[in-house]
A and B are shown apart, each in its own frame.
Chain A
Amino acid sequence: MTEFRQNGDVFRYATAGAHLIVSSDQTVPEILQMTKILLIEDDSETAEELVAELTQRGFEVEHAASGIEGLDKARFIKPDLMIVDRMLPGMDGLTIVEALRHDQIRTPVLILSALGAVDDRVRGLRMGGDDYLTKPFAIVELVARIEALLRRPIETRETMLRVGPLELDLIERTARRGEREIELLPREFRLLEYMMQRNEQLLTRAMLLEEVWNYKFVPDTNLVDVHMGRLRHKVDTPGDPPMIHNVRGAGFILRAPS
C-alpha cells in the first residue's frame, strides 16, 4: 500500500474559527471549474477560510452571512450548489433548504453543523439527495462531497458499467478487466459498482461507509482500507497499471489507466 501513499499532495493547515481544517492543494476537475457555490455561514472567520479555499480550487464562491441574505442570494444568483451552516443567528439552516424546496428550487445543498445526525430532519435531507457534514471537518472531505453533489451519477438504464478496461455487468453480476474475469464477493461487487459510477471522483472513507455500507458511525475507519485492499488486490493485479488510487489522507479514486 505504501506505493500509493507516496503520490500524496501538498498538505497545509488552515484554521477557520474553532475548526481545524486540513486541506490538500488540489484543484477540481475542469468540468467543475467556475461552478457557482453559495456559502451561507455567519461566522466570518470560517467563511473567509472556506471562500479562499474553494476559490483557490476553482469554484466561484458567493458568501451570505445570514439566513435572510442567503435566501435572497439563492433566489437571485441561482447557484449550482449551496453550503449552509445549520446554526445561523435566529434560524436553522434546514429552514432555508425547506423554503427553497417549497419554491421548487432543487439546488443541491450541503449542510454544515456542529450537531451530529441523529435528527430525523437530517435523515430526510440525505434521502432527498442532499448531504450533511459535521463540524469539524477536513477540507478534502468537504470538497469531495461538493464534487459528489455536483456530479450526481446520471440515472441510466445501462446494465453494463465501463471504466477503461474494467467492465461490470449489473445483470450477470460479473466483472472483468480486459480479458480477465474477476471473481468478486457481493460486498466487493457493490463497492466496485459504486466506484465505477463515480470514476475520476475522490471518494472519502466516510462517504464510502455511508453510501456503500450505509453506516454513518463506525468505530474504526480503517475498515474501508481493508475492504479496498481486497478489492484492489483483485482489480489491479501485478503488471496491470493501477486503477484504484489511494489519495493520501483523503480517500480513493478509481481512474482509467492513461
Chain B
Amino acid sequence: METHIPERISDFVNNGELDCEMIYVESEHSALSAALGSSAAGVRSYTATSSQGLALMFEILHIVSGMRLPVVMSVANRALSAPINIWNDHQDSMSCRDAGWIQLYVESAQEAVDTTIMSFKIAEDHSVMLPVMVCLDGFTLSHVFEPVDIPDQSVVDKFLPKFVPVFRLDTKNPKTFGPIGYPDVFMDFKKQQQDAFAVSAGVIKKVASDFNKSFGRSYGDGIVEAYELDDAKYVFVGLGTICGTARVVIDKLRKEGKKVGMMKLKCFRPFPDKAIVDALKKADAVAVFDRAVSFGQKGPVFSEIESAFCDESKKPVIHSFIAGLGGRDVKLDHIELAFNRIIKEKSSITEWLL
C-alpha cells in the first residue's frame, strides 16, 4: 500500500470526506484477504498495491476471482526484485495476468481516477462479477503530481449506484462461500469465469460509453484507443504512460510526412484480439513496446498480439521492443528509433532498448 493512494484515502476518511471503513492491515496478503471478506459480506471493497505487495497477494488474487468477488484494486506498476528496485515497469501485473482479474492500464492520473470509477461498475455488473485491476505506472503516475478533476459525489452516485451483491454473508439467508471443489465440479467453475470474461468486454465498452455521456471524457472505446491510426502504415503499441511519449513522437514524424500512428492497449484482460486485429490489420509494421518480459519467451504483450494474428491471411510485421524496465527512462528518441527501425526492417526483430 506504500503509495500516495492509501495516504490520500486516509486523509479523506479522517476528514470525514469519504464515508468508508479503512482497515490498516499488517501485510498486502491480509489487505486483499480483508477486501475479500468485506466484499463477501456485501460492501463495495477496494485496495491498492504495487510490486512486491502484489506478488505477496498472488495467492489471494486467484481466490477473489474464483469466488467472483468484484473487488477493485489499483496497482502502481513497479519492478519486481531482484535486484530490488522501486521504479516503474509492468512485470508485477503482467506476472498476474492469468489470475482471473480484468486488467485496465491507464496513461494519466485523470484516466486513473476515471477508470477506477468505471471499474466498480464493470466489476459489479451481475453478468460479470469479476475483480478489476487498475494498472497505473508506478512513480510516473503514483508519485508525480498532476492536476485531476475529481467528479462530484452526486454525479458519481448517479453513474455508479449502490453495490448490490448477488450473494452475501447474511445470517437471514445462510450460504457457504469457498467450499472445496472436487474434480467433478472444479472445472465447471473455471469455465464460468472464462465465460464471464467473454461477457465483460461488452460491459467494459458500454460502461466507457456511459461514462463519456455522464462526464464528457473518454479513452477510446474503453478497450483500445487509436491515435493517428486511420491511414498509419507504422504503428506503435503500448500500455500506460509510455503512450503519452509516443503521441509526441508521432506528431513530429507526421510533420515529416511519415505515416505513423498508435494503438494504446487499455484493456489487457480480457484480451481484445479482434479489436487489435481490426486496429492493426491495415498497417505494414507494428512496434510492440513491453515494459515486462516473460523470461525464456518474449514480451508478453508482443506474444499475445502475434497470436491474435495467427488466423489472419494478411498481417503486419510485428516487432518486439523491451523497454523501460525498473524505471529506465523511455525517451522520445527511443520511440523515434523504433519507428525508424520498423520502417526499414522487413522481418520481425526483438530489441532490448538498453
Q: Are A and B associated in one complex?
A: no
* Residue positions of A touching B, CB distance < 8 A: none
* Residue positions of B touching A, CB distance < 8 A: none
